[in-house]
Structure 1
Amino acid sequence: MAALLLALPASARVMPDLYEVNEAVPSRGTTDRAEATRRGLERVFVRVTGNQNVGNDPKLAPVLKQAQKYVQGYRYDTEDNQLYLQLTFDPQALNDLVHKLQLPLWPNNRPGTLVWMAVDTLQGGRDTLRQEDYPELFGLLDGLAMERGLPLDFPVMDLNDQRNMPLGALWAQDESAAQRAGVRYHPDATLMGRLLQTSGQRWQANWLLIHGGRSYAFDASGASLEEVALRGVNEAANRLAERYAVRSDDAGVASAVLVEISGIRSFADYSKATGYLQGLAQVSSADVLSVNGDRLTLALTTSTQLESLRDVLALNRNLQLAKDEGLVDLTGYRAPLGSAQNPLRYSWQ
C-alpha cells in the first residue's frame, strides 16, 4: 500500500489539516490542556505563516497565552499508553488574526514537492536513498512535512526511476535528469539532495530546489543523516513559503490584472475557473468582464506582484499558460502584461 501511495503523482494540493494538531499530555487536567493548547497553537501558526520562527515574534506572545480562545474542538485519544489531546483551531479566526498582526499568510494551496536524495557514507559508499532502506528517516521527513504543511512525495525508485535518474545524475544534481524523471510524478517543485558523511559524527548536505523555472541552492550540516535531511526539507519549506505567502504589510498597491482563459466549454468549467480565482488569498476580487464563446475574461484585483501572481496560477493544473500573443505596434511598443490589450492568457484543461 505504501508503494502505491508513493507512486501517485505530486501536484499542488489544498492542505486540509493545517489547523489540527495532536499534543502529548500527561493528564486530562486543565493546566496540562492549557499548556498543550498553547504549544499546539504555536505549531499551527508555523504552518499557516510558513515562518518556522514565528513563535519568537513578540506580537504572538499575548495570543498564545489565550490559545484556548481559538479552539474549535478537542478530544483525547490514547496510543501506545500515551495520552494525546487532539485540537482543532478556528481557521477563519486565525486567518483574521494573522492579518491583524501583519504576519505572512501561506495559503493552503501548496506546491507538491518531489524529493530525490543520494547518500555517501564512510562504510557503504554512494547510493540512492530509498524508503525501504531508511524507513525511519522517511517517517521523520513525512512528520516534518506535516508540521510545515508542505506536501512531499518520494520517487518509488523502480527500474523506470533508476533509468531516468541514475545515481551519477542525482549526485551531480542534474536538472535535465530531474525534469525527465519527474514526468511521471508531475511535481510542482523538485528537491534534490546529496548527503555526505564526512566523519563518524559529521554530515554535510548540498540541496537544490527547482521550482517555477528557478533554482535555489543551499547547504546543511549536522551530526547525523537525519539532521541534514530534515534541515534540507525545512529550508525548502522556508523558500516556498517566502514565494507564496501573502503579506498584509506589503507596500504594494492594489491593481487590476486581466486574465483571459480559453477552453471554457461548460458551466462546470466556468464555475471551477471563477471559483478558483475568487478563492485565491492573493486576490481580493475576481470579476467576470466577458464570456465570448469558450473564452472567459476576468479582472483580478490584487496587490501581489505580477510574477508572484503567475506563480500562484501555475499551481492549478487546469490552467495552462498560453503562448504569448501580446501585440507589438509599429513603434515596437508592447502593452503591459496583464493589461486589457495584453492579458495573462491561459487555456483550461
Structure 2
Amino acid sequence: MQAAVTIPTMKNLSLLKNFAVFLFIGLCGSPIAAAPVADLYEVRVPVPDQSDAAREWALKTGLAKVLIKVTGNSQVLLNPQLDGITAEARRYVTEYGYVGYRDPLATEEAASEAASSREGRAINIRYSGPAIDQLLRRYQLQIWPAERPSLLVWIVVDDPVVGKQFVTSEQFPDAGDALSQLMADRGVPLLRPMFDLSDLQMLSEEQAWAFDQARMAAVAERYGMNSWLILRAYRSAAGQWRGAWLLNVEGDDSLHSLAADSLPKLIAGIVPAAADKLASRYAYVPQDIARELVIQLDNINDFRAYREATEFIESLKPVRALTVDYVDADRVGLRVSVEGEASLLLGMLRRDSRATELVPDQPEQYRFSWRKP
C-alpha cells in the first residue's frame, strides 16, 4: 500500500512568514468552532468473506464511494474521464482493516430468517486525501469542501394505531441507524431535533405532516440551521412504505415522493438526492486561475487570535494562498487567493461562530470581527 506524503504548500510557507508580523508570542491553540467532516477519505464496505477477491472488489467499491462523498455528486463515475479509475483503486489506498458490520437496510423479517443478513463483516478503508484531491483537480471535477453545514432532519410517520409521531432513534432504531449511516456515507453532518418542549411547541406532528414551512423554519432558526429536510411516511395496506419529502436549502425548497419496502429503504432513497442538492449549493469546480479576495479581520488582539484566525482560513479547501496585507492596531488585512466563487469561502466564514460579518471600510473588501469561542 502506498502511504500519503505531506509536502508543504506555498500557502503554508507564506503563512509561516506572516507570523513574524506579530510581536506577541502564544503557544496554546484553540479548537475550531465548526469542525470539518473528519472522515471524507474513509469508507466502510461490507464483504461476504476475507478472500482476496472480496478484498479487491471492496477496494474498488470504496474508491467509488469516496469519490462520491468528496465531490458530493452521486453520478460522478458516469464522467468518461473516470473510466477505469476503480481498477487503479489500490494506488490510492493508505490502510484498511476488517471490522464488524450491521446492515441498517436489512428488514426485521429478513433478520429473523437469517441472523447473518444483518450482522456481518466489512473492510474499513482509508484513501489518500492528497492523491484524491490531485485527481479531482486534474480533471476539474466538483469538490465539496469538508467544511459542510449540518442538515436538520425530521421524519414523521402516520401509524394506523397510534397516529402521527416523530421518528426517534429510541422508537425507531432501524430508521435512526439507517439515517446516521447513510448521511455519514455521503459526508453530510446530521442534526437531529431534540424534541424537547420548545421544539414541540413550535412544531407538532400534525404541522410537520402538513409541511408547515414557517414553523419548520422557526425550529431551524432555533438550531442555527439554514438547511433542513423532512420526510413524512406511512405504510400501505399492502405493506409498502410510501412517503413525500421536502428539502429546503437556504430558502430554496423542492418536494419529492417515493416508495420502498421498508422505512430504512425509504430513507435510503432520499439521502443521495438530498446530498447532491446540498453539494450543488456548496461545492465548486477548481480553476486554473484563482481569484484574490481582500478580507479584513477585526478584534485580533494577540498572537493567539491571529494564529487561530489565519490557520482556520488557510485550512479551508478553496484557499490556495494567504498573505498579510497590513496590520493596523487590532485589525489585520489578508489577501486570500481562492478557487471557485468568492461566495463559497465567504459562506464558510459566515457559518463559523467566531466570525461576524461587518460593513467593510472600502469597496471590494470583506470585513469580519473575530472572537474567541
The counterpart of 1:49, out of the listed 71, 79, 101, is: 71
Distance 1:88 1:303, change over 3 A: closer
Match of 2:158 among 104, 109, 120: 120
**Amino acid across the alignment from 1:288:** V
Would you say how many aligned residue pairs link Structure 1 and Structure 2?
321
Q: CA offsets per residue over residues 80-128 of structure 1, 9 Å max, x none?
A: 8734322211111111111112211111111111112323345544332
Do residues 220 (structure 1) and 220 (structure 2) align? no
Question: Identity of counterpart residues, as a percentage?
Answer: 28
Of residues 92-101 and 174-183 in structure 1, the stretch that sits farther from structure 2 once superposed is: 174-183
Q: Work out whether residues 205 and 228 of structure 1, in 8 Å CA contact, stay in contact via their aligned partners in 2.
A: no
Which residue among 285, 305, 308 is the counterpart of 1:269?
Answer: 305
- Alignment-derived partner of residue 22 in structure 2: none
- Could you tell me whether the CA contact under 8 Å between 2:93 and 2:126 is conserved in 1? yes
* Structure-2 change in CA distance of 1:77 and 1:281 (3 Å): closer
* Distance in 1 (alpha carbons) for counterparts of 2:48 and 2:183: 26
Q: Distance in 2 between the 1:183 and 1:263 partners? A: 27
Confirm or deny that 1:60 pairs with 2:82. Answer: yes
For structure 1, which segment, 300-309 or 105-114, has the greater mean C-alpha deviation from structure 2 after superposition? 300-309
The structure showing larger relative contact order (alpha-carbon pairs under 8 Å, at least 6 residues apart) is 2
CA distance in 2, matches of 1:162, 1:111: 24
- What corresponds to 1:34 in structure 2? 56
Residue 150 (structure 1) aligned to one of 188, 195, 200: 188
Matches within 5 A, 1:156-305: 156-182=194-220, 185-187=223-225, 189-195=227-233, 200=238, 201=240, 203-211=242-250, 214-223=251-260, 224-248=262-286, 254-305=290-341
1:239-292 CA deviation, whole Å, 9 max, x = no partner? 1111222212x5x95332211121222211111111121222222222211121
Deviation at 1:184, TM superposition (A): 5.2
Q: Which runs of 5+ in 1 are unaligned?
A: 1-10, 327-339
CA contact (8 A) 1:319 1:346 kept: yes
* Range moving further from structure 2, 179-188 or 110-119: 179-188
Q: TM-score, normalised by structure 1?
A: 0.82
Note the C-alpha offset of 1:43: 0.9
Q: Quick one: distance in 2 between partners of 1:199 and 1:311? A: 46
CA distance in 1, matches of 2:341, 2:221: 29
Which letter does structure 1 place at the counterpart of 2:264?
A: E
Of the structure 1 ranges 60-69 and 139-148, higher mean CA displacement relative to structure 2 is found in 60-69
Which stretch shows the higher mean deviation, 120-129 or 62-71? 120-129
Query: How far apart are 1:179 and its partner, in Å?
Result: 4.3
Name the aligned partner's letter for residue 327 of structure 2.
V
Residues 195 and 229 in structure 1, CA contact (< 8 A), matched pair in contact too = no
**In 2, distance between residues paired with 1:29 and 1:230?**
28
Shifted more, 185-194 versus 270-279: the winner is 185-194
SS at match of 1:66: helix
Q: For each residue in 1:23-64, what CA deviation from the matched residue of structure 2 results, as whole angstroms up to 9, or x when unmatched?
A: 233443332221111111111111111111223333223221
Distance 2:225 2:90 in 1: 38
SS in structure 2 of the partner of residue 109 of structure 1 = coil
1:17 aligns with 2:2: no
Structure 2 SS opposite 1:265 = coil
SS at match of 1:117: strand
Q: 2:95 aligns with which of 73, 76, 96?
A: 73
Q: Which amino acid is the alignment partner of residue 367 of structure 2?
A: R
Contact 1:110–1:315 (8 Å) recurs in 2: no
Unaligned residue ranges in structure 2 (runs of 5+): 1-32, 102-115
- Which shifted more, 224-233 or 125-134? 224-233
RMSD: 2.6
Relative to structure 2, which stretch is displaced further, 18-27 or 188-197? Answer: 188-197
How far 1:159 moved relative to its partner?
1.9
Query: Secondary structure of 2:68's partner?
Result: helix
Pair 153,46 (structure 1): closer, same or farther in 2 beyond 3 Å: same
Q: 1:12 touches 1:188 (CA, 8 Å); kept in 2?
A: no
